[in-house]
Amino acid sequence: MLEKHEANKGELGRERHRDTAVNSPAAGRKAADREVPVPGVDDGRAVVLNNWLDGAAAEADARRVDSGHVELWKQIAVETQRRHRMTTPAHLAGQIMAALPERSLAMKVARDARSDRSQRSGATTTSVTLVLGAGALALGVVLGKVFGR
Amino acid sequence: MSYPMALPEGLSGPVVRRYPSAVKTTEQTAPIVEIDSDQDIITRVLAGEREAFATLIGRYSDPLYRHALGMTGSPDVAEDILQTSFIKAYSHLGEVRGRFDAWLFRIVANGCKDWLKNIRRTHLSYDEDDQPSGYATPDQDLDRTELRLDLDSALAELAPSLREAFIMKHVEGRSYEEMADLLSTTVGALKMRVHRAREALQDLLEEKYA
């Protein structure tokens, strides 16, 4: 686990206050997904701050341990809120509707498949009828000859 | 959906006290109105009522647009991804099994990831801001624009999985459970991604803003 952690340690996955991570060969890489606890990151300060950001702690608690980052996140929140209010450009819905294929491929495939099945089914029924008819005729001829003697 | 940094549903565990979200939201819960279910609409579209698909577009385009915009940083690319995704969804509507919104989200999310794999971004901007400014002075507007650009640059530095988790949590305002449902992963894994994304953003922005 530690090896995986070290291997994934990138520029942004570095642990706070650890210069070794910054100077490591992996420092230039982007942070990869790492789902193992990172020693040093989950300190009390970070936990309280994350709890506050997740709505599970009061701002006063977060300020007590890390007022600088609380201010930073309040500024970031102004921007994320603005983005949250953004809506799809008005023309896009019409543009998408106009670009839709006349008949969807899925529907076409489904209809074609149904059509093929019914055609095959009809052909099968006709063939069976003909064979049965021919068989009955042959049987009739044979029986007629036997009993006709 | 609540916004942002909302109390995560079902994460109560040992936490007894609950606090208001760190950042206030103006979004209110809409009154319950009888509306056609996604499945009803899909049935109508498959029966040939093409225009019914517009209802699905209207229902889901905003959150999906925000997701694509957050992931790509480009309004034009976000529009393209959205259009391609809806057309793909329309063409394969007969194959929907389970929740349509989750299925559609995966199409858009995969479109964003494919774009990120193929394109190296050189420019990021959020030019579209039809919201009235809440700032009093031009200087403050300038500061806001600067933060906007800095946040874009910082987000661009994150690995796609971290950026996706941050955008879903802080921009789209989704709960961890909703995110886990859409991304087919665990709440714990997503909390870790969001925490790591926050830490990375702090590292990039604190010198200038903290």
A99 to chain B, minimum CA–CA distance in Å? Answer: 7
Q: From the list A46, A92, A100, which residue is nearest B79 (CB)?
A: A92
Q: Are B155 and B199 in contact, with CB atoms under 8 Å apart?
A: no
pLDDT exceeds cutoff 50 at A7: no
Q: Which residues, 6+ apart, have CB-to-CB distance to A75 below 8 Å?
A: B147, B209
Q: Which of A1-10, B73-82, B154-163 has the lowest mean pLDDT?
A: A1-10
Q: 10 Å Cβ neighbour count for B67?
A: 25
pLDDT at position A128: 76
Q: Which two tokens stand for residue B29?
A: 């819960």
The whole-angstrom separation of Cα A71 and Cα B147 is: 13
Q: Give contacts of A16 with chain B, Cβ < 8 Å.
A: 199, 203
The whole-angstrom separation of Cα B54 and Cα B95 is: 19
Burial of A35 (0-12, 13-18, 19+ CB in 10 A): middle
Q: How far is CA B24 from CA A16, A18, A34, B7, in A?
A: 29, 34, 30, 12
pLDDT in tens, A48-100: 999 999 999 999 999 999 898 999 999 999 999 999 999 999 999 999 999 99
Q: How far is CA B154 from CA A30, B189, B204, in A?
A: 11, 22, 6
Amino acid at A132: L
pLDDT exceeds cutoff 70 at B11: no
Q: How far is CA A89 from CA A24, A42, A110, A140, B172, in A?
A: 44, 41, 34, 79, 17
For an interface test with B, give the residue of A86, A87, A103, A114 to mutate (most B CBs within 10 A): A86
The whole-angstrom separation of Cα A16 and Cα B199 is: 9
Q: Which of B138, B70, B146 is nearest to A80 (CA)?
A: B70
pLDDT in tens, B164-207: 999 999 999 999 999 999 999 999 999 999 999 999 999 999 87
Sign for the pseudo-dihedral over CA of B120, A36, B180, A65: negative
Amino acid at A122: G
A21 to chain B, minimum CA–CA distance in Å? Answer: 13
The whole-angstrom separation of Cα B138 and Cα B107 is: 41
Q: Give contacts of B173 with chain A, Cβ < 8 Å.
A: 84
Q: From the list B92, B129, B161, which residue is nearest A33 (CB)?
A: B161
> How much is the pTM?
0.64
